[in-house]
Amino acid sequence: MIRVPKLTLEDAKITLKGAEKKAKEIGVDMDIAVVDDGGNLLAFYRMDGAKITSIDVAIFGSDRGGPS
């Protein structure tokens, strides 16, 4: 049996921190979503100035493995 590593909540938190850091570097407040390999939401973070209209894009676009 082959075991495939799965993202944990701790992995998602690390990813959110990295994405927030990059967003600050480029000066853009973002909605950031982390999903598992099945496209299920693991974690979500909305920066203070992020657009409300970007929430769905962050969540439902994030299963493509990159910016949508």
- If pLDDT is split at 50, 70 and 90, which confidence band does 60 have? confident
pLDDT at 36: 87
pLDDT at 4: 83
33, 58 Cβ separation under 8 angstroms: yes
The yes-or-no verdict on residue 66 having pLDDT over 90 is no
User: If 0-12 CB within 10 Å is exposed, 13-18 middle and 19+ buried, where does residue 20 land?
Assistant: middle
47, 29 Cβ separation under 8 angstroms: yes
The class of domain 9-64 in CATH terms is alpha beta
- Give the chain's mean pLDDT: 87
Is the pTM here over 0.85, yes or no? no
Domain ranges of the chain: 9-64
Tell me: the pLDDT tens digits for 3-44? Answer: 888 899 999 999 999 999 999 999 999 999 999 888 889 999
